[in-house]
Amino acid sequence: MQKRLLKLTAKYLLTASKVRTWKEVQKNNWWIKFSIYNDSKILLLITSKQTGQTIIRYFSDEDLACSFLNLILALDPNIYHETVQ
């Protein structure tokens, strides 16, 4: 059991060393958190400040990530949006 835990920890540390993340920002009552893995893969974590709805999306293209973020920011954060899940 101990050996397996050490292997997972090493893998976690390797992955964590390749991730860059920034402090979350708030815009239009949405909290937005950006992370980049391996200098090419984008992870967006978007949470409504009003409802707590959390949307997590992974993108390999920066333009698609920006388009999706603009789509979400145009939505009303006071309503739970099922279509973006």
- Let me know how long the chain is: 85
Q: Is residue 2 part of a domain?
A: no
Residue at 59: amino acid letter: F
Whether 64 is covered by a domain: the verdict is: yes
- 48 falls within a domain: yes
DSSP letters, 49-82, are: TTT--EEEEEES-HHHHHHHHHHHHTS-TTS--S
Task: Answer for the pair 58, 46: CB distance below 8 angstroms, yes or no.
Answer: no
Q: Where in the sequence is the domain holding 52, given as residue range(s)?
A: 19-85
pLDDT in tens, 10-43: 888 888 888 899 999 999 999 999 999 988 899 9
For residue 77, being part of any structural domain is answered with yes
- Reported pTM: 0.75
- How high is the mean pLDDT of the chain? 87
Residue with tokens 């992870």: 43
Secondary structure letter of residue 52 according to DSSP: -
CATH number of the domain where residue 32 is located = 3.30.67
